[in-house]
Amino acid sequence: MANNNQNGKMSREEAGRLGGEATAKNHDKEFYQEIGEKGGEATSKSHGKDFYQEIGEKGGEATSKNHDKEFYQEIGRKGGEARGNSDQSDSDGKMSREEAGRKGGEARARQRKNN
């Protein structure tokens, strides 16, 4: 049943939850993909590079607080495996995605350890 406040009205939180549940019943995955894409396009039109750098940094910091070195090594390994063995170091000296992910995970773990 709905949570009522002192005035007998539904709280904003409860109204949002019920509205979200009703929307979920009436729409499929493609609907959410479409509105997500539209929202992303609108956001990109109204925000610049600095905005994305800031939210990326905040997201990275939040993730690093919840995960350890092994997490970053594992996602680096999985990313490399997903790309397959064709991404191994080329004759031009580029490192594979797996190696880059592993090194990035190790670097992030060192940063966390030093902070």
- Reported pTM: 0.38
pLDDT per residue as tens digits for the range 25-60? 999 999 999 999 999 999 989 998 889 889 999 998
At 47 the three-state DSSP class reads: coil
What single-letter DSSP state applies at residue 95? Answer: P
Residues 77 and 28 in one domain: no
4 lies in a domain?
Answer: no
Does residue 20 have a pLDDT over 90?
A: yes
Average pLDDT on 10-32 reads: 94
Which pLDDT does position 99 carry in this prediction?
A: 82
Where in the sequence is the domain holding 82, given as residue range(s)? 54-115
61 lies in a domain?
Answer: yes
Residues 17 and 58 in one domain: no
69 lies in a domain?
Answer: yes
Which pLDDT does position 96 carry in this prediction?
A: 77
Which pLDDT does position 103 carry in this prediction?
A: 84
Residues 28 and 84 in one domain: no
Which pLDDT does position 87 carry in this prediction?
A: 47
Number of domains in the chain: 2
Please tell me which residue, 104 or 112, carries the higher pLDDT value: 104
Residues 21 and 58 in one domain: no
At 4 the three-state DSSP class reads: strand
Q: How far is CA 74 from CA 12, 63, 67, in A?
A: 41, 14, 11
3 lies in a domain?
Answer: no
111 lies in a domain?
Answer: yes
pLDDT per residue as tens digits for the range 80-108? 887 775 545 455 567 777 888 888 888 88
Tell me how far apart the alpha carbons of residues 102 and 37 are, in angstroms, rounded to a whole number: 31
Average pLDDT on 3-9 reads: 66
